[in-house]
Amino acid sequence: MSVARILAAAAATTAGLALLAYASAVPMAYHPRDTARLRLSWSARPERIEVCRELSKEEQAQREEHMRQRVECEGGFASYALRVEVDGRAIGETVIHGAGLRHDRPLYVLRDFPVSPGEHRVRVRLTRREKTDNDAAAFANAVVPDADTGLYAGRAQREATERARRARAAISPSSTLDTVVVFRSRRVALVTFNAERRVLELKAEAIRE
């Protein structure tokens, strides 16, 4: 082995050791064992955002009978802005989507924040990012037209009922938990999503492992 290669290898080794020493000296975040924690944990189905329009009688007549529908919608699934505040100070802010390539599967939230023991005001806000005035919800309570008779009797009402059912199964466009929590040392305050009531809620504390 040439002298040049030996010197190059020695230089590389020295540089590597210096980098390792520097990395070991970098301060790391440390949370004392006696701190409390605020934990967000839930899964829920994102709302389907659809841009809809009501078809005219002429448009419906041009389609095959089995393809006719009063309202036609196109769209995707909602994303949500999540913001967490303690005593008015933001400690977490992110955007969450449903799972899957099309974001059409349930979304999962698991966030953990250290909080000093004591009484604190906690505010968790989950807000749909997409805004539209002609989505499926706008047609959910539509009045069934008189023309909804014969072969298509009841179709308009069934469409409205199905859209309302999907809306009830999804996260509401905006949900906020704003409350005062007494955090205790080595305990976890759990915020979750109540799918039946479609609201964020605080669960009883649990001992932190």
CB 142 within 8 A of CB 157: no
CA distances from 12 to 4, 9, 84, 102 (A): 12, 5, 46, 47
In a domain, 9, yes or no: no
Number of domains in the chain: 1
pLDDT confidence tier of residue 102, bands split at 50, 70 and 90: confident
Q: What is the pLDDT of residue 56?
A: 75
Higher pLDDT: 165 or 177? It is 177
DSSP state of 45: P
In a domain, 149, yes or no: yes
pLDDT score of 15 more than 60: no
Residue given tokens 């799972």 in the structure block: 99
Residue 186 to residue 117: CA distance in whole angstroms: 9
pLDDT confidence tier of residue 74, bands split at 50, 70 and 90: confident
Q: What is the pLDDT of residue 151?
A: 46
Question: pLDDT per residue over 132-142, tens digit each?
Answer: 665 555 555 55
Taking all residues of the chain, what is their mean pLDDT, rounded to a whole number?
76
Question: What is the torsion angle, in degrees rounded to the nearest 10, for the CA atoms of residue 166, residue 169, residue 174 and residue 175?
Answer: 170
Q: What is the pLDDT of residue 172?
A: 83
Q: What is the pLDDT of residue 43?
A: 92
| CA 174 to centroid of chain Cα atoms | 11
Q: What is the pLDDT of residue 180?
A: 94
Residue 46 to residue 5: CA distance in whole angstroms: 60
In a domain, 79, yes or no: yes
Highest-confidence range of 3-12, 39-48, 128-137, 153-162, by mean pLDDT? 39-48
- Side by side, the strands of the sheet bearing 118-128 are 89-96, 80-86, 118-128, 174-183
Q: What is the pLDDT of residue 154?
A: 61
CB 74 within 8 A of CB 50: yes
| CA 107 to centroid of chain Cα atoms | 6
Residue given tokens 């009830």 in the structure block: 168
Question: pLDDT per residue over 156-165, tens digit each?
Answer: 666 666 666 6
Segment 170-196 mean pLDDT: 91
Extract the tokens encoding 198. 């479609």
In a domain, 80, yes or no: yes
Residue 147 to residue 56: CA distance in whole angstroms: 11
CB 187 within 8 A of CB 167: no
Segment 107-127 mean pLDDT: 95
Q: What is the pLDDT of residue 32?
A: 62
In a domain, 14, yes or no: no
Question: pLDDT per residue over 85-96, tens digit each?
Answer: 999 999 999 999
- Residue 133: give the domain boundaries: 35-207
Pairing of strands 89-96, 107-115: unpaired
| CA 134 to centroid of chain Cα atoms | 22
In a domain, 7, yes or no: no
